[in-house]
Amino acid sequence: MRFHFKLLVPAVALAACVSAAAQTPDYKNVGRPPTAQEVQALDIAIGTDGKELPPGSGNAKTGGIVFAQKCAACHGENQEGSAQAPALVGGKDTLTTLHPKMTVGSYWPFATTVFDYIRRAMPRFQEGSLKVDEVYSLTAFILYRNSIIKEDDVIDAATLPKIKMPNRDGFVPQNTDEIHDWKKRGCKLGHCP
Amino acid sequence: MKPKDSGRRSFLKNGAALAGLAVGGVQTARARAVPDEKSGAPAKDLHSYGERSRFETSERLGAMGLYDPAPPGYHRDFGWRNPIQDSVGYITPASLHFVIAHGYEPPDIDPAEHHLLIHGLVDKPLIFSMDDLKRFPSVTRAHFLECNANGAPAGPTGQYRVSPNATAQDTHGFTSCSLWTGVPLSILLKHVGVKPEAKWIIGEGSEKGKHTKSIPIEKAMDDVLIAYGQNGEALRPQQGYPIRLLVPGWEGINNVKWLRKIKLVEEPYMGMWESTKYPSLRPDGLSRWFQFQMGPRTVITRPSGGQKLSGPGFYEISGLAWSGGGLVKSIEVSTDNGKTWREAEIQSPVYPKAHVRFGFAWDWNGEETILQSRCTDEVGERQPTVVELAKFWKVEPDFFIKTGTIPGHFNAIQPWKVNPDGSVQNAISF
């Protein structure tokens, strides 16, 4: 019996493979190619290399004007924050304290995220209302007030991805290739060391 | 008004009066079967779509207060917790599933107008209608969904979590479990053809904040679903109607609701939430980001905080266990403040990355004691104590309540103190 059973297993396994292969459909005509406009409307995510950044530019001077009109009501005139919105400046050297102040300047690892998030989600309740140059200008203004760039520096698709944020090296694992393997990283108990 | 409608209203009114609903003159918000004679609004036909008994009053609880005061038209609360202490079995009703959307309201999406775009590093970018997605094979799987900050003892919810008067809803309300139905993302990705250099997917939602999350391709090809169903019906708007990402066992933030786009890319996108709000900042100043997998956890739901035992005698201790690591392999209960632990009985189907209902027979002698539970999952991880967690973080235990950050993944064992008068209290200590 044992002998026969052993013979049977590969035969059954093979049959299953063949039938599975024969049955895998090609899902013909399910979904259609998107139009260029459809992709453009949705393709707003900016990666850290900035290659999706749109044409346009801005600097901190113009950004300050836009900020006073459209952002200061919640984030405060000096970006100090309020009950409605977080502070955007300050917090240097606080990350090792019990009450760290985690702002764009002290915490955010990538400057491209500032542009992406303003364009995507700001101002709150009027999302999507800012022009591209306004987004570049506001990004420049916040970076300038955090002493990361100068007031006249032009921020655009070429310059923004090159900015190294103060806390860029504050995240582990630093190499994003190492993020993939949870076990290799020594994560335990639902926590990563 | 059509005669038919009039008849239905009259029937409902009489039925309600017979059931005693309209007696007493005080109409509560829950007595909705009674037609409103003043406004003339049509009564809800509960034969067409049901509601629970008016005696069942368990509700989600909002408590985080992101906006203070809230702008007109917006809820003050940031998140709503599942009343887990009232739960039975292992499935959470969709109407009670916890809700966190970073302060955004569900968009009002007509599924006939909604599409999912898959593009980026693929052979043939495609756009799918909701009908297209239902032409693919579907799967139905039980999975828990848990917020990274569930049970965090500091941060916006910390005060509720550590209060002696905390209920299980306060301590563990940011987890829920559903039967999710949808298309395996792997089928869609094979259909569009993933290029070898694609290492991550980024999913994006349709709400005002357009939440975006990066997920490694290995996970996307493993067990991620494009879910359109929850517990046998369409997703609720609060859960991402008409489609959401369902990323089993991983932090809730990955499960992008109102999904409109998936892009295949080489590097994580480093969106605002994933790169600045969800990393865990440790006392050495370094932050652990992309932590993904939720650890093993249990909570006793009966008896739990705020409940009261009527006197000495028999009680079935009942609770839930789950782990992002896969199957829950063993569940233990202690009724003597952790001196001895004994195996609990598993009382529901055991699925990977899903809640499991457990029970434990207990004769209460009427004396003060502490009840606890813990589990071990199939990868061998056991739910830690507060002290074990602190060692792993390289902090003193009181760091977890003193820190100004949100200590995520706080899956420590939950102690419930039973007082001699039968009252039950939260006994977590640091």
**pLDDT tens for residues A54-89?**
999 999 999 999 999 999 999 999 999 987 889 999
Structural domain harbouring A100: 58-163
Q: Inspect the interface and report whether the beta carbons of A190 and B324 lie closer than 8 Å.
A: yes
Residue A14 has pLDDT above 70, yes or no: no
Report the pLDDT value the prediction gives residue A192, as an integer from 0 to 100. 78
Give the mutation candidate from A52, A182, A184 for the B interface (greatest B CB count, under 10 A). A182
Q: In chain A, whose CA is at the least distance from the CA of B216?
A: A180
Would you say residue A45 lies in a domain?
A: no
Q: Mean pLDDT over residues B18-31, rounded?
A: 35
Report the pLDDT value the prediction gives residue A180, as an integer from 0 to 100. 79
Would you say residue A78 lies in a domain?
A: yes
Min Cα distance A148 → chain B (Å) is: 17
Q: Mean pLDDT over residues B15-37, rounded?
A: 38
Q: Inspect the interface and report whether the beta carbons of A179 and B202 lie closer than 8 Å.
A: no
Q: In this structure, what token pair is assigned to residue B235?
A: 């997703």
Query: Which residues, 6 or more positions from A82, have their beta carbon under 8 angstroms from its beta carbon?
Result: A74, A75, A76
Would you say residue A51 lies in a domain?
A: no
Across the A:B interface, residue pairs with CB atoms under 8 Å apart total: 169
Q: In this structure, what token pair is assigned to residue A8?
A: 């049977």
Report the pLDDT value the prediction gives residue A114, as an integer from 0 to 100. 98
Report the pLDDT value the prediction gives residue B66, as an integer from 0 to 100. 52
At A23, is the pLDDT very low, low, confident or very high (cuts 50, 70, 90)?
Answer: low
At B72, is the pLDDT very low, low, confident or very high (cuts 50, 70, 90)?
Answer: low
Measure the CA–CA gap between B317 and B53, rounded to whole angstroms.
25
Q: Mean pLDDT over residues A177-191, rounded?
A: 78
The percentage of chain B sitting over the pLDDT mark of 70, rounded to a whole number, equals 87
Q: Mean pLDDT over residues A122-149, rounded?
A: 97
Would you say residue A155 lies in a domain?
A: yes
Report the pLDDT value the prediction gives residue B304, as an integer from 0 to 100. 98
Residue B37 has pLDDT above 60, yes or no: no
**C-beta separation of B146 from B174 below 8 A:** yes
By C-alpha distance, which of A144, A166, A147 is closest to A58?
A144
* B161: exposed, middle or buried (Cβ count in 10 Å: 0-12, 13-18, 19+): buried
Q: Give, rounded to a whole angstrom, the gap between the first and last alpha carbons of chain A.
A: 53
Residue B67 has pLDDT above 70, yes or no: no
Would you say residue A184 lies in a domain?
A: no
Report the pLDDT value the prediction gives residue B388, as an integer from 0 to 100. 95
Chain B hits for A109, CB-CB cut-off 8 Å, are 270, 275-276
Residue A137 has pLDDT above 90, yes or no: yes
Q: In chain B, whose CA is at the least distance from the CA of A93?
A: B285
Which has more pLDDT, B146 or A20?
B146
Output the domain CATH number for residue A154: 1.10.760.10
Which amino acid type is present at position B204? E
Weakest mean pLDDT among A10-14, B243-247, B306-310, B363-367: A10-14
* A162: exposed, middle or buried (Cβ count in 10 Å: 0-12, 13-18, 19+): exposed
Phi, psi (degrees; rounded to nearest 5) at B45: -90, 100
Q: In this structure, what token pair is assigned to residue B412?
A: 């420590």
B430 at interface of A, judged by CB pairs closer than 8 A = no
Q: Mean pLDDT over residues B288-293, rounded?
A: 92
Give the mutation candidate from B210, B214, B413 for the A interface (greatest A CB count, under 10 A). B210
**C-beta separation of B244 from B116 below 8 A:** no
- Count the helix, strand and coil residues of chain B and give each as a percent rounded to the nearest 5: 20, 30, 50
Q: Inspect the interface and report whether the beta carbons of A31 and B132 lie closer than 8 Å.
A: yes
Which has more pLDDT, B13 or B368?
B368
What digits encode the pLDDT tens for the residues B298-332? 999 999 999 999 999 999 999 999 999 999 999 99
Nearest to A117 among B272, B287, B392 (CB): B272
Would you say residue A28 lies in a domain?
A: no
Min Cα distance A96 → chain B (Å) is: 5
Chain A hits for B289, CB-CB cut-off 8 Å, are 171-172, 179
At B226, is the pLDDT very low, low, confident or very high (cuts 50, 70, 90)?
Answer: very high
Report the pLDDT value the prediction gives residue B39, as an integer from 0 to 100. 59
Report the pLDDT value the prediction gives residue B160, as an integer from 0 to 100. 80
Residue B108 has pLDDT above 90, yes or no: yes
Would you say residue A15 lies in a domain?
A: no
Chain B hits for A27, CB-CB cut-off 8 Å, are 135-136, 187, 191
How many domains is chain A partitioned into structurally? Answer: 1
Set out the domains of chain B in order of their start, with CATH numbers.
1-52 (no CATH), 111-281 (3.90.420.10), 297-426 (2.60.40.650)
Query: Which residues, 6 or more positions from B4, have their beta carbon under 8 angstroms from its beta carbon?
Result: none
Q: How many residues does chain B have?
A: 430
Which has more pLDDT, A173 or B25?
A173
Q: In chain A, whose CA is at the least distance from the CA of B123?
A: A33
By C-alpha distance, which of B311, B309, B318, B332 is closest to B85?
B318
Q: Inspect the interface and report whether the beta carbons of A127 and B260 lie closer than 8 Å.
A: no
What digits encode the pLDDT tens for the residues B375-427? 999 999 999 999 999 999 999 999 999 998 999 999 999 999 999 999 999 99
Report the pLDDT value the prediction gives residue B65, as an integer from 0 to 100. 53
At B45, is the pLDDT very low, low, confident or very high (cuts 50, 70, 90)?
Answer: confident
Q: Inspect the interface and report whether the beta carbons of A191 and B71 lie closer than 8 Å.
A: no
Residue B14 has pLDDT above 60, yes or no: no
Would you say residue A73 lies in a domain?
A: yes
Q: Inspect the interface and report whether the beta carbons of A189 and B204 lie closer than 8 Å.
A: no
Q: What is the mean pLDDT of chain A?
A: 88
Q: Which of A25-29, B160-164, B359-363 has the highest mean pLDDT?
A: B359-363
What digits encode the pLDDT tens for the residues B145-186? 999 999 999 987 788 889 999 999 999 999 999 999 999 999
Residue A189 has pLDDT above 70, yes or no: yes
